[in-house]
A and B are shown apart, each in its own frame.
Chain A
Amino acid sequence: MKINYRQLSIITFMSFIALKFLALPSLLYLESKNMSMFVALALMIIDGLYVFVILDLMKKSGEKNIYEFMKSCLGKVISKIILILLILKYALVIGNISKGLEFFVVENLYSEYNWFVFVLPLMILIGFMIYKGIRNIARVSEMVCWAIVIGLIYIALKALSGIDVLSFLPFFLDGVQPLLNSAYRHISWFGSATFLFMLFGFVDFRSEKKLKMIKYIIFAILIVQLLYFVFYGLFEITSPTHNYCISDISQFSSTYSAIDELSWLVVSMWIVAQAVQLALYSYCLAQALKFLFDIKGNILPIIIVILYLLMWSFIGENTIRMERIFFSHFASIVTLLAQYILPIILEIVYAIKHRKGKNSSKKRVRDENKAKIRDKKEVKVNI
């Protein structure tokens, strides 16, 4: 049940854009103002670089899954601790996407209805997709990816005409410090490559084309930048009051009703993107739980993930504000460790172990040669 490199690139692309059009643009604006786009740009480039670091580890791991690979590098206990860290990261992303989806649906489509009714079919879909595995998620991503991209570009282009480019100037009015602060506080919205850890052993590298992955990452960055440009251009200093970038852009650009027909249908495609992303991170969470507790079947982790998803539908608006504060502190540390520190540690440990292995094999060969020479001498003596 492996996925090919193209499918991996598409999943990565989807993961790169997944969390970016919810509350993130308005949160970034609070600190970095008109420079917010650059914060997103810098962090996405770093994420892009980390994709290749993790893929390098993935190739080194061969057929091993992440737990087996970490166990061989760091030992069982540390591996389990890291799994807990990854579980936290996935859980945070799932919570964020599911809450974002809830507000998106309730705000745009069903203001008079209870979200709880709508969450049940979503649970069935996610459960089914996780059960069918990563190949299923990859193939669905392949099918829906371009519809989502066209939708996003359509929304951005439609609103582009009403933007005053000069409103972005001047840059770096308060120096670089606010950008750094903002990057650290909201880093948990990034770390888009962490899902790759759970794909160890599931990727077929025979069709590897690094350029393809680079293209997809650049494309994701460009789309995010385009929509942020439109968002900040449209809302300027009122940006922090617009909590849901994607729906607010389409509403603002509409000419004669709250949402015009085509924009509305295009916006609806975003639901599909979120559902697929939810499935991807739920799959990662289920896998991590499986490794952590050595669970044999798939059903139990899926049930746990589904219940966890269901839990988010009970969390109300006030708690979400708390969750955002939580996201800015605790989640930043989790993301820093899970995405940015862990791959480096694994690379270093792997390199050291590999060198040791090389040295020991060299030593073994040397010893064997010495022994052979000694044996020959002994034979001569005997003669």
Chain B
Amino acid sequence: MKIDAVKTVDEIKKKLHDSGDLKSRTVQFFGTQISLCYIAPITDNELLNNTLIYPLINFSSEIKGKDIVEVLNDRVLANQEVTIFYDLKSAVDKMLAGNTLILVDGADKILGCDLEKITVRAVAEPPTSVVIKGPREGFTESLKFNLALIRKRVKSDDFVVKMFELGKMTKTQIAVVYYDSIADKSVVNDVLKRLKSIKIDGVIDSHYLVSYLQRNKKSLFKQVGDTEKPDILVAKMLEGRVGIIVDGSPIVLTIPFILLEDLQNSDDYYSQPIRVTFVRALRLVGVILAVLLPGIYIALELYHYKILPTEFLITIMNSTQGIPFSPFIEILFVILLFEILYEANIRMPQYFGMAMSIVGALILGETAVNAGLVSPPAVMIVALSGITFYIIPGQASQFSILRLLGVIIGASLGIYGILLFCVFILSYLSNFDSYKSAYLAPTAPYIEEDQKDSYMRKTIDEMKKRPHAIASNESNKIRR
């Protein structure tokens, strides 16, 4: 490769189809032409002026007989990261990622300086994991910034960051992070192998990778964990998990994932253990209510009304009198209404969303009951189930489908059907192992050591070992 400072710039321009944001600047350096080539929107102007243009123009020392590229690299460029490229393609690829190329006339290599302008939004508390006590920092859309947030918490030489690019068109930067002595080697290798084998045009968000990382691709159930907070990611890595950070996404994926993870909350570790145990029990009850309550209600109303207490039965009979629909259609109608309201609510502008929820919840619900379209118990049951979804927000989408199935099964087979449905779900999940970790662990299989932080939580000093449910380096199970 022989560089012609002007012609090579033209070649790059041609390669990028005369892209409007590609800029270049040519300067004379001891009689040799040097071209600087960069993508303006992603290049930091201040850095460009201070570390490249100014030193180039003002350099006055003697360089007779010396290679200009070496002089630039050793004595002129005031930049912390300078890369030498021996082919134009890789140089252009780096330029597209924020490097400024330095093309020296007659040289056989190209210099690249990382002058990427990092545009990040302010660090804010993520809306998906709000805490009362505890760190409020959340990830942003910048991978570099996210790594900085993690590095701030991790000051160990054991922490590993493996970086590579994915996406033919987007060349999105991906970082796989883990603790070398804690994470299970085979899990790390499996994750890296899967990620590197991805052939895709672009990775817009971390969720693009989820289907490549899941074992059961078409399953309803979540198999890859996610978090928006660096403190949670670090805690998960300390248990042996691997994190996957995608540039442009504030959601970091974690592997392996077990069902219990969503039952836990970062707040749990910053509160009193007794309170946490109580809250976790509530969450478990919430899950059961969320998924099964409408189904059980339908089953009781259609098949097993004899077992209801007489007073309750009379109340239900009174309130359902004159309803034009069967109980099944009635519940289905309310669920559908609830789902539509939910979808509309989360996508509406915030100022409008508040008004909408009042209209939806109060006016529509009240009017539907008054008009005799639905009964108050049906509205109450669906509303209660709907609210309890968000006790575990990470599983809300799965729960809504399961609830619908529960209603259909409850209406067609009664309580017997619902019980079989529960056993079926348990049986299905029992075989759902994710990266050497049993999905239902530490309940099935029962792991005694992990009970300290499962449905109940003991104090931090009592949790002396890393969880056995998560595949991790066996020789490093003891925390301290």
Contacts and interface: CB of A to CB of B under 8 A. Distances in A.
A4 B447 CA distance: 11
A221 B424 CA distance: 29
Contact of A136 (B414, B415, B417, B431): B431
B221 interface: no
- Classify the interface of chain A: helix, strand, loop or mixed: helix
B431 to A, nearest CB: 5
A109 B304 contact: yes
- Classify the interface of chain B: helix, strand, loop or mixed: helix
A143 B444 contact: yes
Given A136-B430, A264-B307, A142 B419 contact: no
B306 A257 contact: yes
B304 A125 contact: no
Interface stretch (A90-98, A231-239, A271-279, A373-381): A271-279
Contact of B444 (A128, A142, A257, A268): A142
Interface in A117-142: 117-118, 121-122, 124-125, 128-129, 132, 135-136, 139-140, 142
B416 A118 contact: yes
B309 interface: yes
Interface string B49-83: 00000000000000000000000000000000000
Given A261-B309, A264-B307, A268-B415, A143 B420 contact: no
B270 interface: no
Interface residues of A, number: 34
A142 B307 contact: no
B424 A125 contact: yes
B413 A118 contact: yes
B427 A128 contact: yes
A222 interface: no
A7 B308 CA distance: 37
B342 interface: no
Given A7-B445, A121-B413, A143-B444, A272 B303 contact: no
Contacts of B445: 4, 6-7, 139, 142
B163 interface: no
Question: Which interface class (under 10, 10 to 19, 20 to 34, 35 or more) fits B?
Answer: 20 to 34
A181 to B, nearest CB: 37
Nearest to A141: B444
A135 B303 CA distance: 34
B446 A109 contact: no
B426 A140 contact: yes
Contacts of A269: 419
B358 interface: no
Interface in B293-338: 303-304, 306-309
B414 A110 contact: yes
A271 B423 CA distance: 10
A312 to B, nearest CB: 17
B177 interface: no
A140 B304 contact: no
B440 interface: yes
A1 B299 CA distance: 37
Contacts of B431: 132, 135-136
B430 A109 contact: no
A78 B471 CA distance: 45
A140 B307 contact: no
B443 interface: yes
Given A142-B446, A257-B307, A275-B420, A125 B413 contact: no
Interface in A79-124: 105, 109-110, 117-118, 121-122, 124
A300 interface: no
A258 interface: yes
Contacts of A128: 424, 427-428
Nearest to A4: B445
A6 B446 contact: yes
A109 B427 contact: no
B281 to A, nearest CB: 15
Given A135-B430, A139-B445, A125 B306 contact: no
Nearest to A276: B423
A135 B414 CA distance: 29
A144 interface: yes
A341 to B, nearest CB: 34
Given A132-B427, A140-B430, A109 B422 contact: no
The 4 closest A-B pairs by CB, nearest first: A139-B444, A139-B430, A142-B444, A264-B307
14 contacts: A7-B446, A105-B416, A109-B415, A117-B413, A125-B420, A125-B427, A140-B427, A143-B443, A257-B307, A268-B415, A268-B419, A272-B419, A272-B422, A275-B419
Given A136-B427, A143-B444, A269-B419, 7 more contacts: A6-B445, A128-B427, A140-B426, A257-B307, A259-B307, A268-B416, A272-B422
